Amino acid sequence: MRNLAQCGLKIITYNFMPVLDWLRTDTAFPLLDGSRTLRFDRLAFIAFDLFLLKRPGAEKDYPAEEIAAAKAKFNGMTNEFKRVLYENMLLGLPGDDESFTALEVLEALDGYAKIGPKELKKHLFDFLQAVVPVAEEVGLKMAIHPDDPPFQVLGLPRVVCTEKDVEELLAAAPSPANGLCFCTGSYGSRPDNDVAAMVKKFGDHIHFLHLRNTKLEPNGGFHEADHLGGDTDMPAVVREVLAIMQRRKLSIPMRPDHGHQMLDDLDKKTYPGYSAIGRLRGLAELRGLEKGLSYSMG
């Protein structure tokens, strides 16, 4: 952290998701306009956990009706669908071409067998109490990215998912250096999160913005929607962000995130969610929204 500060960096974005990063069952879900997007199908995920990964004790994490529905879905899958699902769930970390193996994941999961949400939160708070004073000393801002998806997966606890989680982590190490990478897509993947209200409430602690949108599905799943579509009210979010920046007299860095694969990128090999054209489209939409709201707010 001291070296990063000496190099002129101001913000460190990180997450506290154990073993795996973000997870999607489908990395090329077709949309009506011909583009492709990322999707988390809960029943497909349960089918992977129970019947492909075969995680020991996995059946304890799901109600009987979901297990039955996942089994029926699995039985209806083609071998090709199962192969793609398996590969999608074992994707390597962003920026890495290497995928995980099932054995690597199972061995890593075993290391968390006795760690639940309470224990993992304590680890997070201990980490923050150790590093935040150093960040404050050298002029860095720590910005934690929420869990994605924002609920337990593969028996692993997820502890940065809700408004209450954010309140607790900010209280664990009170400091201007302890803050958020506020991802509207991750928080918006839970119907119990009011994303615009959270932006307003935690505005003094937001150091970086990931603006994307998700469409919730009936079975607990979701897919990545247009940046101005989906279930998060993006105009309300950006209006709150503009008010925060005016009050704090600064510009919060922002990026569009998880763009759709579209046009020429449909025929290119890209890391899922990070093809250029879809994210540039999202950026243009968000900049237009910001400009329009700026004029209306005076």
DSSP collapsed to 3 states, 150-181: CCCECCECCCCCCHHHHHHHHHHCCCCCEEEE
All domains of the chain in start order, with CATH: 2-20+115-297 (3.20.20.150), 29-110 (no CATH)
More confident residue, 257 or 45: 45
From the list 207, 223, 203, 226, the residue with the least C-alpha distance to 215 is 223
What is the model's pLDDT at position 39? Answer: 98
Selection from 224, 68, 237 nearest residue 149 by Cα: 224
Q: What is the pLDDT of residues 151-206, one digit of tens each?
A: 999 999 999 999 999 999 999 999 999 999 999 999 999 999 999 999 999 999 99
| 206 Cβ contact list (under 8 Å, min separation 6) | 143, 179, 180, 182, 199, 241, 244, 252
At 235-284, the pLDDT tens digits run: 999 999 999 999 999 999 999 989 999 999 999 988 899 999 999 999 99
Q: Looking at the annotation, which residues are catalytic? A: 145, 183, 210, 257-258, 274
How large is the average pLDDT for residues 127-145? 98
pTM for this one? 0.95
**Coil, strand, or helix at residue 207?**
strand
Nearest Cα neighbor of 143 from 163, 128, 156, 158 is 128
> Tokens 């699902």 identify what position?
85
Four-CA torsion 78, 82, 85, 86, nearest 10 degrees: -170
277 to each of 79, 280, 281, how far by Cα in Å?
A: 32, 5, 6
> Token pair for residue 48?
């992977």
Percent of the chain surpassing pLDDT 90: 93
* Residues making up the chain, counted from first to last: 298
CA 260 to chain centre: 16
Q: What are phi and psi of 215, to 5 degrees?
A: -110, 120
Going from the C-alpha of 102 to that of each of 48, 69, 105, 147, the distances in angstroms are 11, 23, 5, 21
The end-to-end CA distance of the chain, in Å, is 39
Q: Is 213 exposed, middle or buried (0-12, 13-18, 19+ CB in 10 A)?
A: buried
Confidence of residue 219 (pLDDT cuts 50, 70, 90): confident
Token pair of 157 as six digits: 């606890």
User: What pLDDT does residue 249 have?
Assistant: 96
